[in-house]
Structure 1
């Protein structure tokens, strides 16, 4: 073992003690900075992945819409199914209705689907929490759990639907009574905005409610894994679809929201980086004080033949070791905190007396986590580099000491 490495270890771990106080504080500072940075990045990654997966599950990879009702949708489906990139295509119709159960009205979105076809695109059966999807017919509907709670409805309840078409007929002195449906079950997609604001009926019923005839509002595509949805949508618009049909990928439809998620991760990470920078100052101060306390010893080492660069190596290595220890302890603490995140968040809600409403901003029910190796590599390299850099100034001071002056130092 080189003597300067041995000297660095003895400075950090004096005989008879586990750590020196200043070394311990420096390691804790780096550890906390790395821990918080890993937690923030992993949680923000989790939000992004959770949102992306849910968007694709509930809205498909690509949606094809038109300013008019699409009457030739069956021909378009046959055309699209010829492409190897396409797993499934399903028609849909959607709009806004007034839904009432007893004296409780709501104005949710209604989505009309073909139960035989849509399952390959949007797995409604997977989301059912109450009720039987096999009973789905023109007389029944499925409600999101949040919407059902607002209406105080449950499977077996009867709800009344009023559409804009009915309101228009009233203006023309033609009275249409609200349409009644039986609630067949409830579903939960994992998105509060969908579960609290969506009713599902059959495509045929939606065509009747909105007066579409045999037409639909659009088509939704499910692509094979690995296919670039944005590029394939551009290809469809340029080379496949007729004029008037506009394909929009899930990336394009939600680009603003996804951009906000990415920017929030960058901004929060940038702010938290300053915790590591503050810890680096504590490393520099601790090593500088060590140089001042050990001036005579450093002078003695140089007088005995130690090269100035070897003395500098000793103090730089101390910063490097502090950086490594703090980084890996911080990563371990972050992984532990993320593993028990549900318990931690519940405890936080109890002591503050507040529900975790901030999760609703990101449209999730729980705190998601997604680990990226690139984040761990970046944080490790940054923390170790800054810690080593913090030891550079004390190292240079120690290397430039005049041995004669150092030996006379009190």
Structure 2
């Protein structure tokens, strides 16, 4: 098979290991460094993608994509009409009554802050994933007037309660007293326990929307807002504002970017910064390629001079060493990319196995938003990492190759 002379000599220099074992060792080290850098970048970026995906599906599957409410903060009397108007938009998949309040849960002297959502258990599956994450009881067990509550698994574990037990809910209420706030208490019966594997398992509880109205001393049928779920949650700010405008000047839309946007913005920034830091590993490997080729050029000065006297041009000499450095880069990138993709696809199982062997949970819902290590391999990330590694490897060959092409045959052969 025909090969250009520069490619033939460059690949032969890459394979040759007998004359200078030290240079061969440095070449191998450069290749391994590049492999590890690419592998690390693919695995870490995949894990970051996995965290973002899980948090979108779990947290944004539980919290509202957007809510429509009166600008004055007054309760809605005609929530059904608002929901019907919102449902006409083709991007809306569900519009249901929703009331939210903050309070404290108490059980046998233990207390914790809690966010309480008033929901309609029959319509909630349209906008929430909670129905498919019940550990005990069911969402349908929430009945109007029966003071039922569905709590998260972390809350249940913290209080050592289960379905059938009772909790005390304390809700602050404005009053004319000197303190300005009077606690309002309500005994709630646990009718269900959910687990979504996120921090919401310890900060969220659900009651019937009519019970929430009674707690707030509203009329029966009044709700705080209408909760909306969209096909594409990233369109929530634009579409929510559009629907609120169509409803009239008295309405406003509050979407998930106001309540959870800072969290996802921080995660995006973290992914970018971690990617740039890991890129330094690849840059170090590229510098190793420069050092390797400079030593090869110094070792091959006689060979270069002979090739020049035989008629090879400086450009062909330059191409020889660019080929040699590029081979190191290509092999290191391909091996690192392959191992990185394999590791990224199996990192969840690997960490789970380590947890079982160690007998402990590395990622606990009490501390982290997600209680396991997720991974989401994206082809674009893999391609960008490999492209960056190949580009830096190629650029690393230019200076040593130029030094080789600048070699003067007479000077190199003077003492031979």
Match of 1:218 in 2: 225
* 1:126 counterpart SS class: helix
Match of 2:283 in 1: 277
Q: Residue 242 of structure 1: which of 222, 239, 248 is its match?
A: 248
Q: Residue 122 of structure 1: which of 121, 125, 128 is its match?
A: 128
Alpha carbons 1:119, 1:125 under 8 Å: kept: yes
Structure 2: runs of 5+ lacking an equivalent: none
Match of 2:158 in 1: 150
Instruction: Evaluate the alpha carbon distance shift between residue 115 and residue 169 of structure 1 in structure 2; reply closer, same or farther with a 3 A threshold.
Output: farther
Q: How many Å separate the matches in 2 of 1:405 and 1:78?
A: 88
Please tell me whether residue 330 in structure 1 is matched to residue 332 in structure 2: no
Instruction: Evaluate the alpha carbon distance shift between residue 347 and residue 226 of structure 1 in structure 2; reply closer, same or farther with a 3 A threshold.
Output: closer
Q: How many Å separate the matches in 1 of 2:366 and 2:341?
A: 24
The Cα shift of 1:333 comes to 2.3
RMSD: 3.0
Alpha carbons 2:289, 2:396 under 8 Å: kept: yes
Q: How many Å separate the matches in 2 of 1:305 and 1:143?
A: 82
The Cα shift of 1:79 comes to 1.8
Alpha carbons 1:359, 1:367 under 8 Å: kept: no
Structure 1 segments of 4+ aligned residues over 4 angstroms from their partners = 15-19, 167-172, 175-178, 346-355, 357-362
Alpha carbons 2:348, 2:375 under 8 Å: kept: no
Please tell me whether residue 206 in structure 1 is matched to residue 208 in structure 2: no
The Cα shift of 1:20 comes to 2.7
The Cα shift of 1:189 comes to 2.0
* 2:162 counterpart SS class: coil
Please tell me whether residue 113 in structure 1 is matched to residue 119 in structure 2: yes
Match of 1:369 in 2: 375
* 2:74 counterpart SS class: strand
Instruction: Evaluate the alpha carbon distance shift between residue 299 and residue 257 of structure 1 in structure 2; reply closer, same or farther with a 3 A threshold.
Output: same
Alpha carbons 1:295, 1:409 under 8 Å: kept: no
Match of 1:4 in 2: 6
Q: How many Å separate the matches in 2 of 1:176 and 1:226?
A: 36
Instruction: Evaluate the alpha carbon distance shift between residue 219 and residue 143 of structure 1 in structure 2; reply closer, same or farther with a 3 A threshold.
Output: same
Please tell me whether residue 74 in structure 1 is matched to residue 76 in structure 2: no
Q: How many Å separate the matches in 1 of 2:35 and 2:255?
A: 42
* Deviations 1:239-291 (CA, angstroms, capped at 9, x unpaired): x1233322123234432222211111111111221111111111111111111
Q: How many Å separate the matches in 1 of 2:8 and 2:258?
A: 58
Q: How many Å separate the matches in 1 of 2:13 and 2:196?
A: 57
* 2:93 counterpart SS class: strand
Match of 2:29 in 1: 25
* 1:7 counterpart SS class: helix
Alpha carbons 1:147, 1:197 under 8 Å: kept: yes
Structure 1: runs of 5+ lacking an equivalent: none
Instruction: Evaluate the alpha carbon distance shift between residue 358 and residue 136 of structure 1 in structure 2; reply closer, same or farther with a 3 A threshold.
Output: closer
Q: Output aligned runs, 1:297-376, within 5 Å.
A: 297-342=303-348, 344-345=350-351, 356=362, 363-376=369-382
Match of 1:64 in 2: 68
Alpha carbons 1:106, 1:151 under 8 Å: kept: no
* 1:216 counterpart SS class: coil
